[in-house]
Amino acid sequence: MMKEIYRVAILGCRGRGTAAARAYHVHPRTDLVGLCDLIPERFNTLGDELGVSSRFTDLDEMIEKTKPDIVAIPTGTEFHYELSMRVLEHGVNIEVEKPMCVDLEQADAVMAKAKEKGVKVAVHHQGRVGASMQAIARAFSEGRIGDIRYIYGSGKGYYGGYGLMNIGTHTINDILKFGGRCRSVVAAATRDGHPITPADVVPSPSGMGTIAGEYITATLQFDNNVTGTLLQHRFKKMDSTAYAMELYGTEGRLFWKSSGAWLLPQPHFAPDGKHDKWEALTPIYPEHYDPQKGASQDDYWFVEEYVRALDEDRDHECSGEEGLHVIEIMMGIFESAAYGTRVKLPQERRDHPLLRWRSESGLGAPEEMPRSYGDWLAEEPNM
């Protein structure tokens, strides 16, 4: 049932929590009613900025006192499962930062709890609903590139396995918007120029679970003979301009970045200056979005989509089910690279394939490594 205003509480007030809070604060259909963090300095800084007086160090107390319709969980990945389960126990809709969880067993449990409680889960893949993606989606729906044949996605140059769990989760979710359900995965992963071994399985930086591979190349198979390629390759220097998605159609191509969207009105071209002219597409914003109010347009669009979804009693476009499918694909990529086989989705086994592979090789759990990406990289070559 549509409500005039949806009440929102933020659980975690660091960078992503601040971005989410600003978007919910300025949206005309949401009211930011509470902030929670274990470090008071964080919620005090954010609360003072946005004029939110209800501040807590205990999430259960926050929910009981503020009665939110949505709780945002923009915390480190390793905390998503526990916090999601605690919030869902209250019967409250959630949005959780990407990736949804560190493995399929956790994600399955979150979705089962949400179903039990009759509430909705959204995963913060804000690029999928942002202004540039809205322009891409409109051009695609208008048939400007014909039928889709192939989708390409790339990351920013992080260490491959970490890039997959970090930026890769966004890229895969964007690809799913146009490819639909992924049916199988084939992948290759290397470290130091050689195929990965069980000894190369390590804890991810930033608490994103277990990973392997400096360079990951994956082929994704969708329905209707649509194929996708996902690259998560380590660069010597990070390059955010490499984070992109391209759609190849029978009549043209569409190119997406968070900063823009472009159309090439023919499927193939020779670089002769006549047939390689990309047309910039106009970004699409909600009519009430004001960039001067401090919220990023991607985060604002994410809030707008949640409001519409709750009004219409449907799932958010970046739903928990989509977030779960993203994890299926990522775990499928690791499994394919480890075992050298095509992996059909959804998997029957839901345990982490890299930990299974390592255990089958007689190795125990990998040793702990630094959480910070810079410190992690400094230690990785010495293993």
| Average confidence (pLDDT) over 111-125 | 98
Contacts of 49 (CB under 8 A, 6+ apart): none
Give yes or no for residue 220 having a pLDDT over 60.
Answer: yes
Confidence of residue 1 (pLDDT cuts 50, 70, 90): low
**Residues 362 and 349: beta-carbon distance below 8 Å:** no
pLDDT digits (tens, 9 = 90+) for 145-178: 999 999 999 999 999 999 999 999 999 999 999 9
Q: Specify the 3-state DSSP secondary structure of 178.
A: helix
Residue-wise pLDDT tens digits, 68-96 = 999 999 999 999 999 999 999 999 999 99
Q: Tokens standing for 206? A: 């930033």
- Under DSSP, the state recorded for 11 is E
pTM of the model: 0.96
- Inter-residue contact 325 to 176 (CB < 8 Å): yes
Q: What is the DSSP-derived secondary structure letter of residue 231? A: E
Q: Give the Cα separation of 381 and 383 in Å (integer).
A: 6
Check: CB of residue 155 under 8 Å from CB of residue 163. Answer: yes
Paired strand residues for 227: 150, 221
For the stretch 298-333, pLDDT in tens is 999 999 999 999 999 999 999 999 999 999 999 999
What's the chain's average pLDDT?
95
| 121 contacts 367 by C-beta, under 8 angstroms | no
Beta bridge partners of 249: 148
- List of domains in the chain: 6-128 (3.40.50.720), 129-288+325-360 (3.30.360.10)
